[in-house]
Amino acid sequence: MTTTPMADTEPQAIRQPSNLTLFLRYLRRNKGLAIGVLILIGLTLFTVIGLLTVNPKQAYPLSVALKQPPSLKYPFGTDFYGRNLLVAMVYGMYQTALIGLLAGGIGTAIGVVLGFTSAYFGGWIDATIRTICQILTPIPVLLIQVVVAGSLDKRDVTILTMSIIVAMLAWMGPTLVVRAQVMTMKERQFVSVAKLSGVSDMGIIFKEILPNLLPFIAAAFVGQVFSAVFASFYLAILGLGPLREPLLGNLIWAAQNQGAFFNGWWWWPIIPSCAMILILGALALVNMGLDELANPRVRRTE
Amino acid sequence: MTIDTTPPRIKKAGSANADVTEPVLRVEGLEVTYYTDLGRARALDNVGFTLNSGEKLGMVGESGSGKSTMALAMMRMIKPPGRIEGGKVIVGGTDLMSLSEDGMRKARLNKIAYIPQGAMNSLNPVMRIGAQMADAIRAHVKSESRSSIEDRIARALRSVDLDPSVARMYPHELSGGMKQRVCIAIGILLQPNVIIADEPTSALDVVTQRQVMETINRVQSEINAAVILIGHDMGLMAQAVDKVAVMYAGRLVEMATVREMFTDPKHPYSQALISSLPNLDNKGVFQGIPGLAPSLLRLPKGCAFHPRCPYGQRELQSTVRPEPVILPGGRMVTCHLYSEEGHAHD
Amino acid sequence: MTKNLLEIRKVSKVYQRGLLSQKATVALKEYSLTLPEDNPSILTVAGESGSGKTTLAMLLLGFITPTTGEIIYRGKNIQSLEGKDKLAYRHEVQAVFQDPFAVFNPFYTVDHLLTVPIKHFKLAKSGRDARNKMDEALNAVGLRPEDVLGRFPHQLSGGQRQRINVARALLLKPRLLIADEPVSMVDASLRANILESLRNLHRDHGVTIIYITHDLTTAYHVADNIVVLYKGDVVESGDVESVIRNPQHNYTRLLVDSIPWPDLNKKWGEPLKPRETV
């Protein structure tokens, strides 16, 4: 006797609220992520509008009146070298973002490629990559960065070289994280089923496993951007950045050099410092928020 | 030299023969709603039943029918976005719903114990069994001396046919069946009046399954508790319980003795369940239940089962919710076929 | 000479513990089986966890390699298949697994489970043809395509998901189907439907099914023959009627006695003695 399916009089489609609504509701619960995202949006707007409106020349020395406190003409004041701090900030943030994204991108990309290769192919490839990571991880990153940056000729230190210096010891984390995730994921049954459906090894990596890793990769990327931005700050504060550029760290280093506080030019170091705190804080909040998003077990319910 | 290892029967206050007439568990009008992003889901709808000491009740139903929700509601362990909207759960004379948070915490494991689904996989892998059991005792009892705790643990382990030395082992050293028996032991540590076991044998193979069910039987008769077994395997129910309750879409649609349920089910859903059971005599005959269980977010108006019911074509079924009816003999059915309105419409 | 669909020749699978340890776990001990090509049947492999039944499934699907012995599919050793033969083996030997959720890639809709093999095994000539074939397979398991296609796995019930898994098998029309506990994670009320689909696959399309389970009730209803495994060894085998009604080996008798028949006249006997000692 066969079973005939009775017509389902119960309509299957429950009207789902749109993805945007669900996302906004989630933001309301995850306030950390929401605040972080808002701050970043604010800073981005500031930078973008700034880039479109201000005169870039004013970010460099001897372009405006020296040592002016904040006023209507110069909302953030000017510094010892004659830089309009507002313009300098705009460009400084732009360059910081560049370094962050560039170094963060390089670090994450290396991590993804090495992590995948290591986990999927296993054997001696895995052992080699893993050992290299484990050897390099305990190395004090700050010291190496300072040594490398310090030994370069001042003219060679550009945004690009800074990004490379920052990224060169940052890729181990993402590699190990991606590796761990891929190792668990390749044992999952949907990978077995994909194999039974004729999918090749490459197909499994790119079409089956990679899409599921996007949340982790995104979280790793934000983490990388955070460390890259942080590294660019402290290297610049130590005077090891590309000194000509109006990087936020550079501004503070210059201010310290000239004894800004003692001379009463308080706006010079304070304003870039506030900007730094905002940037790092926002990145940290977004990082923690993404962590919660990617790991549903941590999610709080309404 | 033989040592008598049968645990002494501890008489709980008030559990003497005077309570034969008074049911140890009475649930009335239990209602639970989940407030989700997609709407309100009525997980439990006016559920009520009674159970005496020493009785075993099997609660069956498909996934989403409300059986596990019922257990959680009775333990007051429903978390947001779910909420207990009303009802009473009276165990040994005390309404659990009226207790304070602290009072309820003391009642758990003491008066009513819950062995959740997949409990054996939730044992702490880095703690010894004995330590976990001691933790459970200390969480629900004000102060017990160390030796008294150790006594209880040894006694509980022996009740489930495990050597007390198991207390010194780690979960990974035990087989699936042994781990499940440890979970049962935890449930009986404080000799509760009511034990709820949710799918206690789902991941176990057939021989271990039988062992675990027999263990539950034995511990129950030792401490004279009432046991609620939640599951969906009618075969297990036939072997193990005295009464059967059938849940559908959050409602208790029928409750009867196991003999009545298997020989003369009254509710159309129970009838379909019973006739779909495989048996030695009907090899090759498959008879499923047509249609799909409704989503709790969009329950059909009137009787929740009427779209799939072979007798469900009348207007009454699609407009009026059936209420529980007590039939002669004591069994309970929630169906228009047996209600006054149902007969009035004939 | 009739070709055999499957020949398992004294296959053993042994797991070494650690590099230097002498201790080894024998998951499967010198297992042999022959399934003819012209007479498809349903074979049940029954046993508890640790009996070797899952190892057998993994070996047959080519996910692990035998320690000794060979597995010959249609005349060729599966370890040495290449090119077209390998693709044919992949197409013709399929599986339905136990966990209805785990087989779905959570990133994609459930359609992915059906569209991927259609693409790789070239089962359809066009998009429309593919859609038709998918609809046909879904209807055959009692699902309405508009109810399930386009949805994500977590939006469907366990029963629906498992039925889609069976639909996948119907779509691919393999020669050999390994069904590893296909209904143990499905509600009892839906099991009949799924088992019947499997039986129809066998009856209408000549698919040989190896039905792996520890649940002898369903095994009895679905299978023609049965093999009982215990700790990697074959304990008893034969046609399912006689083995279950009249078990010879002690272990088989224990299994059969422990079946929870939904029949008040067939209750379990005396409680078992504890089997595990600490």
Chains touching B (3+ CB pairs < 8 Å): A, C
Is C272 inside a domain boundary?
no
Instruction: Measure CB to CB from residue C260 to each of B232, B235, B287 and give the nearest one.
Output: B235
Q: Report the pLDDT value the prediction gives residue C21, as an integer from 0 to 100.
A: 64
Side chain identity at residue B86, one-letter code: G
In which band, very low, low, confident or very high, does the pLDDT at A15 lie, cut at 50, 70 and 90? low
The overall average pLDDT reported for chain A is: 80
Cβ-based contacts of B39 with chain A (< 8 Å): 14
Domain span at residue C59 reads 4-257
Supply the CATH number for residue A152's domain. 1.10.3720.10
CA distances from B273 to A33, B244, B247, B267, C145 (A): 49, 12, 12, 10, 26
What pTM was estimated for this model as a whole? Answer: 0.78
Q: Is residue C151 part of a domain?
A: yes
C-beta atoms of C221 and B283 within 8 A: yes
Q: Does C217 touch chain B (CB under 8 A)?
A: yes
Residues C58-93 have pLDDT tens digits of 999 999 999 999 999 988 888 888 888 888 999 999
pLDDT of residue B11: 41
Mean model confidence pLDDT for chain B: 83
The whole-number average pLDDT for the span B62-89 is 88
Residue A104 belongs to domain spanning: 27-64+73-298
Identity of the residue in A1, A10, A17 whose CB atom sits nearest the CB atom of B287:
A1
Beta-bridge mates of residue A134: none
State mean pLDDT over A220-246: 84
* Mean pLDDT, all residues of chain C: 87
pLDDT of residue B345 exceeding 50, the answer is no
Measured distance CA(A166)–CA(A148) in Å, rounded: 10
Residue B4 has pLDDT above 50, yes or no: no
Burial of B41 (0-12, 13-18, 19+ CB in 10 A): buried
User: How far, in whole angstroms, is CA A95 from its chain's centroid?
Assistant: 13
Give A124→chain C minimum CA distance, Å.
16
- Say how far apart CA A285 and CA A272 lie, in whole Å: 20
Instruction: Please say if the pLDDT value at position A23 is more than 80.
Output: no
The domain tally of chain C equals: 1
Among A58-62, B281-285, C195-199, name the one with the lowest average pLDDT: B281-285
Q: Per-residue pLDDT for C258 more than 50?
A: yes
A205 domain residue, yes or no: yes
Domains and CATH numbers, chain B: 22-253 (3.40.50.300)
Residue whose C-alpha is closest to residue C211's, from C33, C48, C57: C57
Residues of B in contact with A25 (CB under 8 A): 37
- Cβ distance B214 to C188 less than 8 Å, yes or no, reads no
Task: Establish if A12 belongs to a structural domain.
Answer: no
Say whether pLDDT at B141 is over 70.
yes
Rounded to the nearest angstrom, the minimum Cα separation between C98 and chain A is 10
Contact at CB, C272 and B214, closer than 8 angstroms? yes
Task: Please tell me the distance from the alpha carbon of residue C47 to that of residue A200, in angstroms, as a whole number.
Answer: 33
* Residue range B30-59: mean pLDDT, rounded: 89
Q: What is the ipTM of this complex?
A: 0.86
Closest alpha carbon within chain A to B308: A6
Residues of C in contact with B288 (CB under 8 A): 189-193, 196
Q: Which chains touch A (3 or more CB pairs under 8 A)?
A: B, C
CB contact under 8 A, C87 and A198: yes
Q: Which chain B residues are within 8 Å of A1, Cβ to Cβ?
A: 285-287
Which residues does chain A have within 8 Å of residue B298's beta carbon, measured at their own beta carbons?
10-11, 14
Distance of alpha carbon C240 from alpha carbon C246, whole angstroms = 10
User: Residue C111 corresponds to which tokens in the numbers above?
Assistant: 């359609």
CB contact under 8 A, A196 and C94: yes
A71 pLDDT higher than 70? yes
On chain C, the residues whose CB falls within 8 A of the CB of B210 are 258, 260, 268, 272
Mutate which: A3, A6, A8, A10, vs B, most B CBs within 10 A: A10
- State whether residue C262 sits within 8 Å of chain B by CB: yes
Which chain A residues touch B275 with a CB distance below 8 Å?
none
Arithmetic mean of pLDDT, B283-311: 76
- Is residue A2 domain-resident? no
- pLDDT for B148-193, tens place per residue? 899 989 989 988 888 898 899 999 888 888 888 899 999 888 889 9
Q: Which residues on A lie below 8 Å from C93 (Cβ)?
A: 196
Q: Please enumerate in sequence order all residues whose Cβ is within 8 A of that of A125, keeping only pairs 6 or more positions apart, or say none.
A: A117, A118
| Chain C: closest CA distance from residue B139 (Å) | 28
Question: Out of C160, C261, C272, whose CB is closest to B279?
Answer: C261
pLDDT recorded at residue B18: 43
From CA B42, how far away is CA B56, in angstroms rounded? Answer: 27
What is residue A245's predicted lDDT score, i.e. its pLDDT?
78
Judged against a pLDDT cut of 80, whether residue C271 lies above it is answered with no
Any domain includes C58: yes
- Nearest-angstrom CA–CA distance, B333 and B329: 12
Which structure tokens are listed for A267?
């706006």
Find the length of chain C.
278
Taking the CA of residue B148 and the nearest CA in chain A, the distance in Å comes to 37
Position A250 scores a pLDDT of 83
Asked whether residue A17 is assigned to any structural domain, the reply reads no
E strands, chain B, in order: 25-36, 39-51, 56-60, 82-91, 94-95, 112-115, 194-198, 226-231, 243-248, 251-257, 325-326, 332-333
Q: Are strands C225-230 and C233-239 parallel, antiparallel or unpaired?
A: antiparallel
In a domain, A7, yes or no: no
Q: Give yes or no for residue C16 having a pLDDT over 50.
A: yes
pLDDT at B282: 66
Residues in C whose CB is inside 8 Å of some CB of A read: 61, 63, 87, 90-91, 93-95, 97, 99, 102-108, 113, 116-117, 120-121, 142-144, 146-147, 192-193, 196
Compute the average pLDDT of residues B310-324: 77
Q: Do B291 and A17 lie within an 8 Å CB cutoff?
A: no
Domain CATH code at residue C218: 3.40.50.300
- Residue C275 maps to a domain: no
B216 contacts in chain C (CB < 8 Å): none
Q: Does A173 have pLDDT greater than 50?
A: yes
The Cα A120–Cα A208 span in angstroms is 12
Please count the structural domains in chain A. 1
> Which residues from A are below 8 Å from B when comparing CB atoms?
1, 3-6, 8-11, 14, 16-17, 22, 25, 301-302
- For chain C positions 102-141, those within 8 Å of chain B (CB to CB) are none
Nearest Cα of chain A lies from the Cα of C116 at a distance, in angstroms, of 7
Phi/psi region, residue A82 (left: phi>0; alpha: psi -120 to 50; beta: rest), is left
| H helix or E strand, kind and range, residue C234 | strand C233-239
The answer to whether position A4 is within a domain reads no
Comparing CA positions, the residue from B296, B320, B295 lying closest to residue B306 is B320
pLDDT attached to residue A8: 35
Find chain C residues with C-beta within 8 A of A193's C-beta.
Answer: 95, 97, 103, 113
SS3 content of chain A, % helix, strand, coil (to 5): 70, 0, 30
How many residues can be counted in chain A? 302
Neighbours of B21 (CB within 10 A): 7
- Two tokens, residue A10: 């119960």
Better-predicted residue by pLDDT, A41 or B297 = A41
Of C157, C214, C277, the CB nearest to B63: C157
Q: Summarize the confidence of residues C173-182 as an average pLDDT.
A: 93
Residue B237 in contact with partner chain C when CB distance is under 8 A: yes
Query: For the segment C23-62, what is each residue's pLDDT rounded down to a tens digit?
Result: 778 888 888 898 988 889 999 999 887 788 889 999 999 9
Set of chain C residues whose Cβ sits within 8 Å of the Cβ of B64: 157
Tokens of B47: 């559920």
A296 confidence band (pLDDT: 50, 70, 90): low
Would the pLDDT of B62 be above 70? yes
Q: How crowded is residue A100: how many other Cβ atoms within 10 Å of its Cβ?
A: 24
pLDDT band for position B17 (cuts 50, 70, 90)? very low
B288 → chain A, closest CA residue: A3
Report which DSSP code applies to C72: E
Other beta carbons within 10 angstroms of residue A196's beta carbon come to: 25
Is there a domain that residue C136 lies in? yes
* Chain A residues within 8 A of C142 when measuring between CB atoms: 3-5
Opening angle at CA B113, ends B139 and B21, nearest 5: 130
Instruction: Determine the residue among B33, B38, B303, B309 to mutate to test chain A binding: the one whose Cβ has the most chain A Cβ atoms within 10 Å.
Output: B38
What is the band of C180 on the pLDDT scale with cuts at 50, 70, 90?
very high
- Residue B293 reports pLDDT greater than 80: no
Residue C224 contacts B where some CB pair is shorter than 8 Å: no
Sheet of strand B251-257: strand arrangement? B112-115, B194-198, B226-231, B56-60, B243-248, B251-257, B332-333, B325-326
Residues of A in Cβ contact (< 8 Å) with C90 = 195-196, 198
Q: Cα separation of C269 and C272, whole Å?
A: 8
| Structure token pair of residue B322 | 């059936």
CB pairs under 8 A between B and C: 130
A194 and C143 in contact by Cβ < 8 A? no
Residue C264, in any domain of the structure: no
Of C166, C177, C194, C170, whose CA–CA distance to C43 is shortest?
C177
Task: List the single residue in C90, C95, C105 with the smallest CB-CB distance to A198.
Answer: C90
Q: Could you tell me if B164 lies within 8 Å of chain A, comparing CB atoms?
A: no
Identify the three-state secondary structure at position A300: coil
Give the per-residue pLDDT at A131.
Answer: 92
CB contact under 8 A, A6 and B294: no
